Amino acid sequence: MKRFLLLNLIAFYLLPLFCKNTGFLGVVINDYNKDGVTGVSITNSIENGAAQKFGLLENDVITTVNNIVKK
């Protein structure tokens, strides 16, 4: 449990401080591969973060980003 809390602290609060020239979606993801669909599933997101503002929800599956397919 402590490891999970530490990873969330890093992902949600510290990482954006070091990523000034990159986008920050504000989600925690896991690999997804079911029924021939490959991508990442959203397992958690920052409240009122960029992902929620664009309508991404927990359990949504992202299969492409900028027309690049995850393999």
For 22-39, how does the pLDDT look when each residue is reduced to its tens digit (9 = 90+)? 567 888 888 999 988 888
Q: What is the mean pLDDT of residues 7-13?
A: 63
Q: In the chain, what are the domain boundaries? A: 25-71
Task: Judge whether 58 and 43 are in contact, CB under 8 Å.
Answer: yes
pTM score, two decimals?
0.61
| Single-letter amino acid code for the residue at 5 | L
Which residues on adjacent β-strands are paired with residue 42? Answer: 29
Report pLDDT for 48. Answer: 83
Rounded Cα distance, 7 and 24, in Å: 16
Element (H, E) at 16: helix 15-18
Q: Where are the beta strands (DSSP E) in the chain?
A: 27-34, 37-45, 61-62, 64-65, 68-69
